[in-house]
Amino acid sequence: MRRTHRTLVIVIVLAAASSISGLGAPADDVTFAGQAGPPEEPLSLWYRQPAGQWVEALAIGNGRLGGMVFGGVGQERIQLNEDTLWAGGPYEPNNPEALVALPEARRLIFEGKYREADRLIGSKMMAKPLQQMPYQLVGDLILSFPEEKSVKAYRRDLDLDTAIARVTYASGGATFTREVFASPVDQVIAMRISADRPGRVSFTAGLWTPQKAAVSAEPPDTLVMRGVNAPARGIAGALRFEARVRVRAEGGEISIEGETISARGADSATILIAMATSYKSFKDVGGDPGAVTTAQLAAAGRKPYEALRKDHVAEHRRLFRRVALDLGTTEAARRPTDERIREFANSQDPQLAALYFQFGRYLLISSSRPGCQPANLQGLWNESMSPPWDSKYTININTEMNYWPAEPCNLAECVEPLVGMVMDLTETGARTAKVHWGARGWVTHHNTDLWRAAAPIDGPAWGFWPTGGAWLCQHLWEHYAFGGDREFLARVYPAMKGAALFFLDTLVEEPAHRWLVTCPSLSPENPHPGGVSVCAGPAMDMQILRDLFSNTIRAAEILGVDAALRGELAATRARLAPDRIGAAGQLQEWLEDWDMKAPDIHHRHVSHLYGLFPSAQITVRGTPDLAAAVRKSLEIRGDNATGWGIGWRLNLWARLQDAEHAYKILTMLIGTERTYPNLFDAHPPFQIDGNFGGTSGIAEMLLQSHAGEIEILPALPKAWPKGSVTGLRARGGFEVDLSWEEGRLTTCTVRSLSGNRCRLRHGSASREQDLPKGEVLRWDGR
Ligand code: FUC
């Protein structure tokens, strides 16, 4: 549905779009007239003005290549990323001094001398260098268009169903359209610039980068940027990279001027961008980015634009269309996305929640396809040489949160890059386990990077946490729990076993109860009343290890291996410190009842609540006392937090099955404080985990499957009285479609993918039956 153009005139003077080009581009100083209506596809982000800031630009990606599309009229900027362009090269961060200090650090902690322990750990037991390598950018493609004084009906949008960003406007009697997408099929970013009148397409294309690189033109139609990556923290850059841009015009002329290419008087033009680095693996940088980009550009160049577009859309839809969500729609849905975000908390706009949900799925498809790097703190999209927290992998919550929606939201193959990273870490983390802890198996602390560094970084308050790898292993098990792929389990079992062996070797007995605990460790980033974070046996570690040991035992049983190890793991599991309820009725974060005395009781992390979500050790029906303690802890902590902190709270309230509280948290997430105009999550600054936590949380409100049964509409808020969802996945190998009216289930359809017994619950009603593979069960919840 297109809104008829109104005569109302809005005037927006844009800030100069960019000061970086040096391409003689006119700054956008354009009058915007004649309001554009919404795009036809309701799953679109759209705006009536170009992006002024990076967090207004629209993200495209094929898992490996990323682009941020600004949509300026006089100047288009497409900020470019390639997911292996990080600083540094293969390096060894392990510190041989660490192991010598380990017994003393443990003694100090068990004697309650936490500050002394912190000092010792800080001086002797951290990685060298103390920080890892940052993720960086390729640069910008800048297109300078002829000067425009005034344009009409300007609109830019991102259609989530086609994964195509678009800019349209009218000027001088012609309507101009730009389309841009990152093709997972042809491994290029493709852009088409067209006008509905012949001969009207003219522009100059150039490349800019802050990297050490040179741009040159290769006749007749190609720009090439060749560079080397940056050093960081004393580690030399070891990568070469190349970006190649080809401009093709239909009609008109193409010419090369210096390091730019111009199209003049064309009917339309197609721009193809290929990018690659010499990265082959965390220990091999011997790739040939020139050969790769040349071949990719040649292959893509042989296909007509329409064929590139068609293949891209089909591949995107193969994943994207597996899940459809309808929460109802209102007039608000016809407004531009930035306005809707501003008003979400006070408007009736259920479709924005559905859009946010699908945007999270879109982001995962766009930043984490098989064969690529996993989604980092910013997914794939980064415009800085020194981004916040280096845009790495923070494993004490952020990386895991990125992957929470993958299995339930039917994007299981998007986990593959994470699995690949875990398998790499079994190698680098084995060195760290040996050098830092004198242990078998492998370990990863709270961060890693492209080079899979596994040693503790930053400082003891953040980095001295040995449980990161164990948490990542949860995703290996969940992939099996949802998909039932025995071959996959056999492939990843060595990683689970190795993670478990590390803890068999490093758990120590604490003096008070003789429980087995991690030490030194910490409850992620939260200082306790001892004034520092380092401690023994925080609740989160114990919960993660219960999962790791249980999953490893189950996997070994399924695969019929390691009988003796199973026994050892079960015996050790039984001796881990249990979850405990403190004097305030809260779930204790530490071995001691410190929660109410901790310096920051509203801390953003809620690590000890891992047991409720993402784990299933605590459930509302199975362990009601512990679930009540989690609720108490959440109340004490408060609702407000960083973007991901709110995302985690959303999932927790959904698991507590408190629909209205979950919804309240969702309104905090989808509001201007935690969501930028382009729907990116605001920590702030931009961090993508909150997007994924939000998508996962909405799924958890509609369907849960962690407690041995599929629970339908466990946390449906009043704001969504009528709706439907298709294609959600449940553990045990099921795909579920639901619809509801007046807040009550009308139909539920369960498809069996693995032939397991199916247990359903809706409120107090339940149903249980065998469901052979391929068969479908329909239930109305009564
Ligand atoms: C953890 C969090 C911070 C931030 C960083 C990337 O350290 O505590 O809030 O998200 O990761």
pLDDT digits (tens, 9 = 90+) for 419-432: 999 999 999 999 99
* Residue nearest ligand 1's atom 10 by CA: 398
Closest atom of ligand 1 to 524 CA is 8
User: Is residue 493 within 6 Å of ligand 1 at its C-beta?
Assistant: no
Give residue-wise pLDDT tens across range 650-674: 999 999 999 999 999 999 999 999 9
Query: How many whole angstroms separate alpha carbon 69 and alpha carbon 51?
Result: 8
647, containing H or E segment: helix 643-655
CA dihedral for 633, 639, 642, 644, sign (positive or negative)? positive
Q: Which two tokens stand for residue 358?
A: 């699908």
If you measure from the C-alpha of residue 455 to the centroid of ligand 1, how many angstroms do you get, rounded to a whole number? 17
- Position 670 scores a pLDDT of 98
Ligand 1 atom with minimal separation from the 388 CA: 6
DSSP H or E run through 398: helix 398-403
- The pLDDT of residue 16: 32
pLDDT in tens, 137-184: 999 999 999 988 899 999 999 999 999 999 999 999 999 999 999 999
Mind spelling out the 3-state secondary structure of 498-535?
Answer: HHHHHHHHHCEECCCCCCEECCCECCCCCCCCCCCCCE
For residue 690, report the distance from its CA to the centre of ligand 1, in Å: 12
- Phi, psi for 716 (deg, rounded to 5): -85, 120
Query: Residue with the nearest Cα to atom 9 of ligand 1?
Result: 642
Kind plus residue range of the DSSP H or E element containing 710 = strand 710-712
Is any atom of ligand 1 closer than 6 Å to the C-beta of 642? yes
User: Closest by alpha carbon to 557, among 503, 480, 610, 469?
Assistant: 480
Give the phi and the psi of residue 613 in degrees, each rounded to 5: -150, 135
Q: How many angstroms separate the alpha carbon of residue 282 from the centre of ligand 1?
A: 24
**How many CB atoms are closer than 10 A to CB 57?**
28
Nearest to 470 by CA among 385, 362, 546, 525: 546
pLDDT band of residue 7 (cuts 50, 70, 90) is very low
pLDDT of residue 548: 99
Across all residues in the chain, what is the average pLDDT?
95
Dist CA 489 CA 555 (whole Å): 7
Residue 681 CA, ligand 1 centroid: distance in Å: 13
Task: Determine the Cα angle at 118 with ends 115 and 121, to 5°.
Answer: 150
Query: Residues 77-95: pLDDT tens digits?
Result: 999 999 999 999 999 999 9
Q: Say how many Å lie between the CA of residue 636 and the centre of ligand 1.
A: 21
Helices (H), 69-147: 97-110, 114-124
Dihedral sign (CA 705, 633, 607, 665): positive
687 lines ligand 1 (CB under 6 A): yes
Confidence band, pLDDT 50/70/90 cuts, at residue 305: very high
Residue 270 near ligand 1, beta carbon < 6 Å: no
Q: What's the pLDDT tens digit per position in 36-53?
A: 999 999 999 999 999 999
Choosing from 382, 445, 525, 681 the residue with most ligand 1 atoms within 8 A of its CB, the one to mutate for a pocket test is 525
**Angle, to 10 degrees, between the axis of helix 416-437 and the axis of helix 486-506?**
20
Q: How far is the CA of 376 from the centre of ligand 1 (A)?
A: 12
How buried is 233 (Cβ within 10 angstroms: 0-12 exposed, 13-18 middle, 19+ buried)?
A: middle
> Is the sign of the CA dihedral 440, 446, 452, 457 positive or negative?
negative
Beta carbon of 359 within 6 Å of any ligand 1 atom:
no
Task: Please report, for residues 65, 95, 181, 626, 641, the alpha-carbon distance to residue 191 in angstroms, rounded to integers and kept in the order given.
Answer: 14, 48, 7, 54, 39
Residue 8 has pLDDT above 60, yes or no: no
Q: How far is the CA of 631 from the CAs of 67, 165, 354, 541, 718, in angstroms? A: 41, 42, 27, 20, 21
pLDDT reported for residue 29: 76
| Phi, psi (degrees; rounded to nearest 5) at 450 | -60, -30
225 alpha carbon to ligand 1 midpoint, in Å? 34
Q: Two tokens at 505?
A: 């070797």
CA of 400 to the centre of ligand 1 (A): 12
Q: Which tokens in the block code for residue 149?
A: 């004084």
By DSSP bridging, strand 31-33 and strand 150-159 are parallel
C-alpha–C-alpha distance, residues 546 and 415, integer Å: 23
The 10s digit of each residue's pLDDT in 376-388 is 999 999 999 999 9
Q: Contact 155/47 with Cβ under 8 angstroms?
A: yes
Report cis status (omega within 30 of 0) of the bond before 685: yes
pLDDT level of residue 28 (50, 70, 90 thresholds): low
- Across residues 518-524, what is the average pLDDT? 98
State how far the alpha carbon of 77 is from the alpha carbons of 20, 73, 74, 98, 508, in Å.
10, 10, 10, 47, 55
- What's the gap in Å between 314 CA and the centre of ligand 1? 36
SS3 661: helix
Query: What Å distances lie between residue 107 and 97, 117, 536, CA to CA?
Result: 17, 8, 11
Binding site membership of 533 for ligand 1 (Cβ less than 6 Å): no
CA of 686 to the centre of ligand 1 (A): 12
Task: Enter the tokens of residue 502.
Answer: 């590390």
Whole-number Å distance, alpha carbon 389 to ligand 1 midpoint, is 8
Q: Collapsing DSSP states into helix, strand and coil, what is residue 181? A: strand
Q: Which of 20-24, 210-214, 469-473, 500-504 is least confident?
A: 20-24
Task: Kindly report whether the peptide bond that precedes residue 684 is cis, defined as omega within 30 degrees of 0.
Answer: yes
For the Cβ of 393 lying below 6 angstroms from any atom of ligand 1, the answer is: no
Ligand 1 atom nearest the C-alpha of 389 is: 6
Mutate to test the pocket of ligand 1, among 394, 402, 607, 640 (most ligand atoms within 8 A of CB): 394
Q: Is the CB of 458 under 6 A from ligand 1?
A: no
Whose CA is closest to 188, among 68, 69, 83, 64? 64
For the chain, what is the largest distance between any 2 Cα atoms, rounded to a whole number of angstroms?
Answer: 83
DSSP type of residue 745: E
**Is 526 touching ligand 1 by the criterion CB < 6 Å?**
no
pLDDT bracket for residue 23 (50, 70, 90)? very low
- For the CA of 462, the nearest atom of ligand 1: 7
Residue 657: both structure tokens together? 């099955």
In degrees rounded to 5, what are phi and psi of residue 105?
-60, -40
Crossing angle between the packed helical segments 114-124 and 97-110, to the nearest 10 degrees: 170
pLDDT at 25 over 50: no
For residues 699 and 447, what is the distance between their CA atoms, to the nearest angstrom? 27
Ligand 1 atom with minimal separation from the 446 CA: 7
Residue 18 clears pLDDT 90, i.e. is over it:
no
Give the separation between CA 644 and CA 638, rounded to whole angstroms. Answer: 14
Q: How far is CA 597 from CA 109, 537, 582, 583, 641, in A?
A: 18, 18, 12, 11, 19
Ligand 1 mean position, distance from CA 653 (Å):
21
Beta carbon of 394 within 6 Å of any ligand 1 atom: yes
Give the mean model confidence (pLDDT) for residues 213-223: 97
Spatial CB neighbours of 178, under 8 Å, sequence gap ≥ 6: 71, 76, 166, 167, 168, 191, 192, 193, 194
Q: Is 175 exposed, middle or buried (0-12, 13-18, 19+ CB in 10 A)?
A: middle
Q: Ligand 1 centre and the CA of 370: distance in Å?
A: 26
Give the Cα separation of 523 and 605 in Å (integer).
9
Residue 642 CA, closest ligand 1 atom number: 9
**Angstrom distance (rounded) from CA 225 to CA 215:** 4
Q: Output the DSSP codes for 197-264.
A: STT-EEEEEEEE-SSEEEEEEETTTEEEEEEEPPPBTTBPP--EEEEEEEEEEESSEEEEETTEEEEE
By most ligand atoms within 8 Å of CB, the mutation choice from 389, 392, 402, 540 for ligand 1 is 389
Confidence of residue 24 (pLDDT cuts 50, 70, 90): very low
Angle at 436 between CA 433 and CA 437, to 5 degrees: 65
CA of 237 to the centre of ligand 1 (A): 26
**Alpha carbon of 592 to ligand 1 centroid (Å):** 25
Q: If you ran DSSP here, which 8-state letter would residue 133 be given?
A: P
* Span from the CA of 137 to the centroid of ligand 1 (angstroms): 21
Q: Would the CB of 377 count as within 6 Å of ligand 1?
A: yes
**What confidence score (pLDDT) does residue 775 get?**
98
Helix or strand run (H / E) with residue 741: strand 734-741
Distance 398 CA to ligand 1 centre (A): 7
378 CB less than 6 Å from ligand 1? no
- Closest C-alpha to ligand 1, atom 8: 525
> Does ligand 1 lie within 6 Å of residue 389's CB atom?
yes
The confidence score (pLDDT) of residue 14 equals 31
CA of 332 to the centre of ligand 1 (A): 34
- Percent above pLDDT 70 for the chain: 96
**Which ligand 1 atom minimizes the distance to the CA of 377?**
6
CA distance 757 to 730: 12
Residues 513, 383: Cα–Cα separation, whole Å: 51
Cα(691) to centroid(ligand 1), Å: 15
Atom of ligand 1 nearest to the CA of 392: 6
Residue nearest to atom 11 of ligand 1 (CA): 394
Expressed in angstroms and rounded, the spacing between residue 679 Cα and the centre of ligand 1 is 20
Q: Of the residues 398, 540, 691, which should be mutated to test ligand 1's pocket, given the most ligand atoms within 8 Å of the CB?
A: 398
Question: Are the C-beta atoms of 459 and 118 separated by less than 8 Å?
Answer: no
Shortest-distance Cα residue to atom 1 of ligand 1: 394
Distance in Å, CA 594 to ligand 1 centroid: 22
Task: Report the atom number in ligand 1 closest to the C-alpha of 645.
Answer: 9
- Model pTM? 0.96
**pLDDT at position 9, please?**
32
Ligand 1 in contact with 400 (CB < 6 A)? no
